[in-house]
Amino acid sequence: RKEVEQDPGPFNVPEGATVAFNCTYSNSASQSFFWYRQDCRKEPKLLMSVYSSGNEDGRFTAQLNRASQYISLLIRDSKLSDSATYLCVGLVSGGYNKLIFGAGTRLAVHP
């Protein structure tokens, strides 16, 4: 079983829609979590960190449930430019930080 699991999608949504991605992790040693965004044939880039209390950045809301080992990302009012792969990432610390990536969820926003 992979340490970080995501639904690969693709999620095909119209502009303006609200879409939610889920992620589960199995390594209880994971201390922090992130969502990274990866455009086609580009490198991954940090989208936002995920805090236990939940956090929001504009149209993006991230939630973490440590008891259920579950992470979510909600995108409101989807834009065409949101089309990308969203990678759920856990951080394991053992003297240094190591990021463990999920396989990613692909989002396609259409007009």
Partner 1 sequence: DTGVSQDPRHKITKRGQNVTFRCDPISEHNRLYWYRQTLGQGPEFLTYFQNEAQLEKSRLLSDRFSAERPKGSFSTLEIQRTEQGDSAMYLCASPPGRADTGELFFGEGSRLTVL
Contact footprint for partner 1 (CB under 8 A): 4, 8, 32, 34, 42-46, 49, 87, 89, 91, 95-104
Least distance between partner 1 and beta carbon 16 (Å):
28
- The number of residues in the chain equals 111
- Looking at beta carbons only, is 75 or 104 nearer to partner 1? 104
Query: Hey, is 58 helix, strand or coil?
Result: coil
65 pairs with which residues across the strands? 70
Query: Hey, is 32 helix, strand or coil?
Result: strand
Could you tell me whether strands 45-50 and 11-14 are parallel, antiparallel, or unpaired per DSSP bridges? Answer: unpaired
Least distance between partner 1 and beta carbon 15 (Å):
26
- Looking at beta carbons only, is 19 or 34 nearer to partner 1? 34
